[in-house]
Amino acid sequence: MVISDVIICDAQGERKGDVRIEEGLITQIGENLTDHEMIAGSGCYLLPGLVDTNVRLKDSQLSGKNLESLSRRALKGGVSTVILASDSHPRIDNEITLEFVQQHRNLANGATIETTLSALNESGALSNIAIMLKRGALAVHTSTLTDYNLISRIAQYLKMAKRPLFYKAEDKSLFESGVMSDGDAATRLGLPGISPLSEIVHIAAMIEIARHFEITIIFKSVTEPRSVELIAQAAAQGIDVQCEVSIHHLLHSDKACNGFDSDAKINPPLVNAEKQSFLREALKEGKINSLTALHQPNSDVHKDITFFDASFGTTSITEYLPLCYTHLVKSGLVSMSRLIDLASRAPAAQAGISRGLIEVGQKGDLVLFDPNTATPVVHHHSLYKNEVLEGKVIMALCRGEWSHF
């Protein structure tokens, strides 16, 4: 098969040309290639599939139905590999739940599903980290821990296995008492706020853990300017830490919560406009290493209620690539190539897999993206409901199988 006359764009740049794919691998890149099976891509981008390492299932319920839905919706949004956060119900903390996810890894016409493992099991004891990593979990995942004996033991496992820690910094004693970011918006709405210290103090502490044990820590869905600066400073000193930010925190401030819109109640919460502006500048300056759609969908029963009682999360993965193209690329915040670096190459590298490049010999996880076709956001519990986005995923190649949208 040859995909002809496309804008080939990966983490290294853009160029026009044709791409030959045989048995799921890229075998030739050039001009005027021919084949008995041709796909004309004039005016379209041929991109590496996006990789999202911070994905949750509907209502956080680990089930076959939810995995199948996620797989197909992700590929439609340009995401060819999703990596589940481990804090589902049941938690991904043992060989049974890991094997269940792996049984749904390669679903037809859908994205590849991988997973992290929870550092702790339901009782609060260490999971069998060594065995779970050997059996295919890509990283260890946890939110804030305050038991530094446990943290030290986790770090030792990670150092031995040479695997990363995906760390969500949140002080549960502060977070559980609030429903949105502390500030003027929360005050106007009369809602309890969540202190920025919920994130900052734990990131500072875990940077020292990364320094001491010489392990890799990816800080997940960071929101606070001070956190970004701490991570950037530590990285400049040679400490192996990286910063992930969600697309929502780049595009929306906590003003989206006005009117008690429960679709704007996400975890971590949206921050004020000044902090949102800082995050956008940090993205341009290279202080943010990777992006996530922060997909955490909920059933109506958990969203069509008061803001205070509603579950955290919004649905976003089905429109992820059009969202990024419309609000980041078309706005001039980043180039398309930089987007692929942030949303494909970097998150894949953080998880220890290779994506983000279109080269001969590379696995053909590819997306054909038409920038001239619109994508309406139709889900009624999306933070972007009723928007019409620029660009549409029209085809995707995942594991050698083409899907058309």
Residue 70, pLDDT above cutoff 80: yes
d(CA 178, CA 103): 37
What is the phi/psi pair of residue 279, to 5°?
Answer: -60, -40
pLDDT at 175 over 70: no
Is the pLDDT score of 62 beyond 90? yes
Helix axes 148-161, 197-213, angle to 10 degrees: 50
28 to 18, 38, 333, 364: CA distances (angstroms): 8, 14, 32, 11
At 177 the pLDDT is 79
Which H or E run contains 120?
A: none
8 A C-beta contact, residue 35 and residue 20: yes
The residues near 232 (Cβ < 8 Å, ≥ 6 apart) are 243, 282, 287
Contact 257, 270 (CB under 8 A): yes
Mean pLDDT value of segment 278-296: 98
Q: What is the pLDDT of residue 173?
A: 74
Average pLDDT over residues 385-391: 96
* Pick from 87, 213, 220, 219: nearest CA to 154: 213
- pLDDT value of residue 24: 86
pLDDT digits (tens, 9 = 90+) for 148-173: 899 999 999 999 999 999 999 998 77
Calculate what percentage of the chain has a pLDDT beyond 70: 99
Tell me what pLDDT residue 294 has: 98
Beta strands in 49-164 (DSSP E): 50-55, 79-84, 112-115, 117-118, 140-143
Range scoring the smallest mean pLDDT among 166-175, 219-228, 259-268, 345-354? 166-175
Q: What is the DSSP string of 6-54?
A: EEEEETTEEEEEEEEEETTEEEEEESS---SSEEE-TT-EEEEPEEEEE
pLDDT of residue 346: 98
Q: Which residues pair with 22 in a beta bridge?
A: 25
What secondary structure, in 3-state letters, does 351-368 show?
CCCCCCCCCCCCECCEEE
Q: What residue segments make up the domains of the chain, in order of their start?
A: 2-404
Mean pLDDT of 348-376: 94
Instruction: Residue 290: count other Cβ atoms within 10 Å of its Cβ.
Output: 25
- pLDDT exceeds 90 at position 174: no
Residue 173 backbone dihedrals phi, psi, to 5 degrees: -70, -30
Contact (Cβ atoms closer than 8 angstroms) between residue 355 and residue 48 = yes
pLDDT of 82-118, one tens digit each? 999 999 999 999 999 999 999 999 999 999 999 999 9
Provide the pLDDT for residue 216: 98
Closest CA to 339 of 352, 353, 320: 320
Dist CA 169 CA 144 (whole Å) = 5
CATH architecture of 2-404: Alpha-Beta Barrel (3.20)
Confidence of residue 145 (pLDDT cuts 50, 70, 90): confident
Which is nearest to 19 in space by CA: 397, 339, 358?
358
pLDDT for the residue 146: 84
pLDDT at 400 over 90: no
Determine whether 98 is exposed, middle or buried from the number of CB atoms within 10 Å of its CB (0-12, 13-18, 19+).
buried
| Average pLDDT value for the chain | 96
